[in-house]
Amino acid sequence: MKQVNFLLFFLCLTVAAPNYYTQSSNPQIKQLLGKWKSIRNKDKGIEINIKFNPDGSVKYDIGVNLRGTYILKGNKLISFFTDLKTNKVEVDTSIIEINGNTLIQESIVSGKKIKMSRLDKTETNSKQIIGKWESDNYNGYYAIIEFNTYYGINVLLQVKSIEGSFVVEKNMITIFSPTTYRMRLNYKITKNIMTLHNLENGKDLTMVKLTH
């Protein structure tokens, strides 16, 4: 089955590439290029990031966004998150160790260890937890965690990533990938805001442009 999906993906690429390059000078496509982030989504806590590249490739990331608070007592980190489904507060206690730009977090309850690398350039080699961190990849999943000075914590758990190619025809974007085969999206761009309607599942999405 994987071989069939890959062959379909390869065939899609051979068809899509010429169409893309013949349209690459189209202002409509130039307006689309860059990174977009969801700002209004009916699926609570879900964040979507899409990056359209000049070579016709695309990366479509789906993540779960969790916001909470934390208390740091020495090397003991206590985190509080509200469950998106039940609205109940969940508490996690772990032991942390910071060496240079690496943070090791070990849960007291499960004993699981998570290794993270600092993303902030301003806090390089700082012993403080404040800043943005990215975890190692665990079975295809990774997270970006940000601790702020007001004891707030924001976690973006990356749960799915689609990479492939895209073509644009009038007001429709078609994304081809070896795993999903095809995703069709009706779109409209007004300044730096893009609205999408997914023809596969009927869902609507509003996105803001982050980079060109």
Check whether residue 73 and residue 141 sit in a common domain. yes
Residue 116 sits in a domain whose CATH number is 2.40.128
Q: Which residue has the tokens 């893309």?
A: 20
pLDDT digits (tens, 9 = 90+) for 101-157: 999 999 998 888 999 999 986 656 567 899 999 998 877 788 999 999 999 999 988
The secondary structure element, H or E, covering residue 112 is none
Residues 70 and 135 in one domain: yes
The pLDDT assigned to 3 comes to 45
- Assign 94 a pLDDT band (cuts: 50, 70, 90): very high
Nearest to 56 by CA among 197, 170, 173: 173
Q: Which domain holds residue 124?
A: 64-159
**Can you give the pTM of this predicted structure?**
0.66
Listed residues 159, 178, 200: the one ending a domain: 159
Q: Where is the domain boundary, 137, 159, 181?
A: 159
* Residue 1: Cβ within 10 Å count: 5
Q: What are the b/e assignments for 111-135, b being 16+ CB within 10 Å?
A: eeebebebeeeebeeeeebebebbb
Classify residue 60 as exposed, middle or buried by CB count within 10 Å of its CB (0-12, 13-18, 19+): buried
Tell me, yes or no, whether 42 and 107 share the same domain: no
| Same-domain pairing of 58 and 72 | no
Which region holds residue 152: left if phi is over 0, alpha if psi is between -120 and 50, else beta? beta
Mean pLDDT to the nearest integer, 68-95: 90
Residues 69, 57 share a domain: no
Q: Specify the CATH number for the domain of residue 27.
A: 2.40.128.290
Q: Are residues 69 and 48 in the same domain?
A: no
**Confidence band for 42, pLDDT divided at 50, 70 and 90:** low
72 & 153 share domain: yes
The domain total for the chain is 2
Q: What is the pLDDT of residue 25?
A: 61
pLDDT class of 28 with cuts at 50, 70, 90: confident
- How confident is the model over 144-194, as pLDDT tens digits? 999 999 999 999 888 888 899 999 998 999 999 887 678 999 999 999 999
